[in-house]
Structure 1
């Protein structure tokens, strides 16, 4: 039996590994000269393999698109299974404080090597620089027109990943599947007219970012960049707000609480208490709420507080303004910067056209999908790779049954 896997990424390799077996010839078709390129560069070259194990009901909440669909997928293969798969093959993983999991080697090459070794052990054929131009259903088989000629395949898994443009999915047109327009899912907020950019490199560990006029909000680390604001809170918010932000042409108002442990009233009462206890201390040089010194100076200047002003001389108006800057700092967002090296898209094959129990097409027998080619995307933290391993596993095992 001829089995074809289109895509030499994480989902493609896992699908190929689990589709292998006696009497099956498995071939991976990869259009680029490189394999597992996204694995190579992810996590700053360390590869964020998965996230700390959690209940499936909580795990699926980290996927802006695909939550319901993934409940069934993860019931077959979840984070614990990923950890066991790699560790049983000699790749030890470590857990970081924020829940991300990396190889102990801190090198993505470790992950690549074990996948290539497994493929070699199973005699999987890999055709690099062999892009698929079109797919032609022929009864229950598929004729692939590739850059290296024609191939007739008995069972086919499409695991080509996400693409930034709809044109990139044109090779699927003969299958008549709906492809949702791809849009960026993880990006930073550009704030070209805001003075906050002068503080580039500064970060807070526990902020809250909201989009004014929506229910979109996320709590976590915030990083100030040359372009505007980034960090996990912003990136995760951008994923959940991907469609809304695109519809607004990436023009919006972001509201930031620089320390999520405090509410407006708590900021206010704490500043007043501190002023009573330490009236002769300079405001600018005595930061509160674990706010970095440079950010604190910035916020006090915006509140109209003079350089050498003492806490005991703060007016009610100045305190109110400082509280406003701490609790509800307003930023005008105008544009985005996409993480090119870790590009994640919303969009792809419509999930209602795929069986979540098997990942088989509802339109064509012996045709399966895996990975980000589906309209599934996760926030940062190892969730996109977990979806790749899980869907690859499910498509590969379903196909081999």
Structure 2
């Protein structure tokens, strides 16, 4: 009987365990806390954003700021349609929302948890809780996993511990000879403590374009103004792609916002000129244009130094130019970040050149595998981190009970 150990009872750990288990294996999950699948439970506001309707691999991999080339090979073995088939064949039907995110029809993460736990139970997978790994030794072709009270030995080992905020969280992996890319935060919102725009908290626009000044880093999508600054999918995705640059800047930067991604400067000028000619006696601040929220329009008019109650036929040219500027390229000073809800994601982890993307096996130590966010892989918000967890977990699991294919 082949003994396979899985470190970490998250999405990748459970999926790896389920696919490692067969009649000839004995699979044990070691979990440092007293709970399984904690991140699955809270994901998507408790609904669990299982994956994303990106069915072409070429499209899917574009959503990973780190790991794109690696995952191109991985997804050939297990991609979005495989995830859908796996859950639906176990009675969990999935639905696609307008932005491409996929959730269980039940809108309840418990549906996903029950499918995973149920499958693990069927396959007699043991889960050992409160097992904090301090050290792993490889002796006589066995992996000895140590905690404070216990040690367990396994023929194969799959590490699915997720991300960590500091390199020290990967100590036992480094001791096995693997290099770690420095962990840095990904998926966070922008703090703008000096900006009066925070007074508009709760206002959102459906399709903004936001760019980090001095870079080519930019993203478009829904943008939300909060009491601490800027959030919404456009900001979260930009934070993921800009994570290393923002880290180097110590999260002090300037962002440029175009309040509608389809606008051009010439188009704004033309539309304002037309409106001015057709409605010369209308007040500028109390008649929002372009479908903008009234409070946001009033704020932008004020920022353009246009007097309250001023009519369109009274606007000085310099103020008209400022209005165009603030609509097309509104500048915000970023000073710090805030973690997005409880969905902690890091960039960094086990270096990908040391892992086989077709099997998830270590290129340094045969019989050792990795899956999930412990690898230097991270996706933007929208179900992509779970998809990489399912795919890497699947490959680690099915290959762990084969003859070692280290390549």
Residue equivalent to 1:117: 118
Measure the CA separation in 2 of the matches of 1:329 and 1:362.
48
> Is the contact made by 1:259 and 1:291 (CA closer than 8 Å) also made in structure 2?
no
Residue equivalent to 1:82: 83
> Is the contact made by 1:7 and 1:161 (CA closer than 8 Å) also made in structure 2?
yes
Residue equivalent to 1:73: 74
> Is the contact made by 2:11 and 2:389 (CA closer than 8 Å) also made in structure 1?
yes
Cα displacement string for residues 70-107 of structure 1 (whole angstroms, at most 9, x for unaligned residues): 00010111111111111111111111110001111111
Residue equivalent to 1:38: 39
Measure the CA separation in 1 of the matches of 2:24 and 2:217.
51
Matched, 1:160 2:161: yes
Measure the CA separation in 1 of the matches of 2:37 and 2:251.
31
CA RMSD in angstroms comes to 1.0
Deviation at 1:174, TM superposition (A): 2.3
Residue equivalent to 1:257: 258
Residue equivalent to 1:269: 270
> Is the contact made by 1:210 and 1:216 (CA closer than 8 Å) also made in structure 2?
yes
Measure the CA separation in 2 of the matches of 1:59 and 1:24.
33
Q: For residues 176-191 of structure 1, what are the structure 2 equivalents within 5 Å?
A: 176-191=177-192
Measure the CA separation in 2 of the matches of 1:340 and 1:29.
26
Measure the CA separation in 1 of the matches of 2:310 and 2:24.
81
Deviation at 1:147, TM superposition (A): 4.0
Measure the CA separation in 2 of the matches of 1:53 and 1:256.
27
Residue equivalent to 1:378: 379
Measure the CA separation in 1 of the matches of 2:139 and 2:180.
22
Measure the CA separation in 2 of the matches of 1:309 and 1:5.
68
Please give the secondary structure, in 1, of the residue aligned with 2:286: coil
Measure the CA separation in 2 of the matches of 1:196 and 1:217.
20
Please give the secondary structure, in 2, of the residue aligned with 1:288: coil
Please give the secondary structure, in 1, of the residue aligned with 2:244: helix
Deviation at 1:148, TM superposition (A): 4.4
Measure the CA separation in 2 of the matches of 1:296 and 1:139.
70
Please give the secondary structure, in 2, of the residue aligned with 1:189: strand
Measure the CA separation in 1 of the matches of 2:286 and 2:97.
33
Measure the CA separation in 2 of the matches of 1:393 and 1:108.
20
Q: For residues 134-213 of structure 1, what are the structure 2 equivalents within 5 Å?
A: 134-213=135-214
> Is the contact made by 1:53 and 1:80 (CA closer than 8 Å) also made in structure 2?
no
- For structure 1, the residue ranges without an aligned partner over 5 or more in a row are none
Residue equivalent to 1:323: 324
Measure the CA separation in 1 of the matches of 2:341 and 2:242.
19
Measure the CA separation in 1 of the matches of 2:212 and 2:200.
21
Residue equivalent to 2:95: 94
Measure the CA separation in 2 of the matches of 1:398 and 1:323.
58
> Is the contact made by 2:174 and 2:180 (CA closer than 8 Å) also made in structure 1?
no
- For structure 2, the residue ranges without an aligned partner over 5 or more in a row are 403-407
> Is the contact made by 1:143 and 1:153 (CA closer than 8 Å) also made in structure 2?
yes
Cα displacement string for residues 111-159 of structure 1 (whole angstroms, at most 9, x for unaligned residues): 1111000000000001111122111011432111124411110011000
Measure the CA separation in 2 of the matches of 1:320 and 1:158.
57
Please give the secondary structure, in 2, of the residue aligned with 1:239: helix
Runs of 4+ that moved beyond 6 A: none
Deviation at 1:185, TM superposition (A): 0.5
Measure the CA separation in 1 of the matches of 2:164 and 2:137.
21
Measure the CA separation in 1 of the matches of 2:341 and 2:181.
21
Q: Normalising by structure 1, report the TM-score.
A: 0.98
Residue equivalent to 2:305: 304
> Is the contact made by 1:11 and 1:392 (CA closer than 8 Å) also made in structure 2?
yes
